[in-house]
Amino acid sequence: MTMPNVRTTSYLVALILLGMMTARASASGRAQSDREESSADVTAPVEPPPTDINETRLFSELIKHNEVRNAALLGYVELRTYEVTDTAGKVRAQESGQMEYRAPDKKTFVTTAESGSALVRRLALNPLIASEIEAASGKQRHDSAIIPANYKFELLGEQQVGRYHCFVVRAIPKRSDKYLFEGKVWIDTEDYAVVRIVGHPAKKLSFWIERADFVREYQRIDGFWLSKKDETFVKVRMYGQKVLTINHQNYTVTGASVQNAEN
pLDDT higher at 30 or 130: 130
The pLDDT assigned to 108 comes to 96
Q: What is the mean pLDDT of the chain?
A: 84
| Band of residue 5 on the pLDDT scale cut at 50, 70, 90 | very low
pLDDT over 70 at 16, yes or no: no
| d(C-alpha 53, C-alpha 61), whole Å | 10
Long-range contacts of 167-173 (CB under 8 A, 24+ apart): 167/49, 167/53, 167/58, 168/46, 169/55, 169/58, 171/146, 171/197, 171/199, 173/202
| d(C-alpha 176, C-alpha 30), whole Å | 30
| Band of residue 89 on the pLDDT scale cut at 50, 70, 90 | confident
* Torsional class of 6: left (φ above 0), alpha (ψ -120 to 50), beta (otherwise): left
pLDDT higher at 41 or 145: 145
Long-range contacts of 75-78 (CB under 8 A, 24+ apart): 75/100, 75/101, 75/102, 75/103, 75/253, 75/254, 75/255, 76/100, 76/101, 76/224, 76/226, 76/251, 76/252, 76/253, 76/254, 77/101, 77/251, 77/252, 78/226, 78/248, 78/249, 78/250, 78/251, 78/252
3-state secondary structure 103-132: CCCEEEEEEEEEEECHHHHHHHHHHHHHHH
Max avg pLDDT among 11-15, 125-129, 225-229: 225-229
pLDDT over 80 at 118, yes or no: yes
- Percent residues over pLDDT 90 in the chain: 57
- Percent residues over pLDDT 70 in the chain: 81
Query: Per-residue pLDDT tens for 220-257?
Result: 999 999 999 999 898 877 777 889 999 999 999 999 87
pLDDT over 90 at 26, yes or no: no
Burial of 111 (0-12, 13-18, 19+ CB in 10 A): middle
The pLDDT assigned to 74 comes to 96
Start-end of H helices in the chain: 9-24, 55-72, 118-120, 126-137, 258-262
Q: Is the dihedral of CA 132, 38, 18, 12 positive or negative?
A: negative
| d(C-alpha 182, C-alpha 184), whole Å | 7
Closest of 127, 184, 138 to residue 158, by C-alpha = 184
Answer for the pair 144, 8: CB distance below 8 angstroms, yes or no. Answer: yes
Closest of 38, 63, 66 to residue 149, by C-alpha = 63
The pLDDT assigned to 40 comes to 54
pTM for the full predicted model: 0.86
Burial of 235 (0-12, 13-18, 19+ CB in 10 A): buried
The pLDDT assigned to 4 comes to 37
pLDDT over 80 at 20, yes or no: no
pLDDT over 70 at 215, yes or no: yes
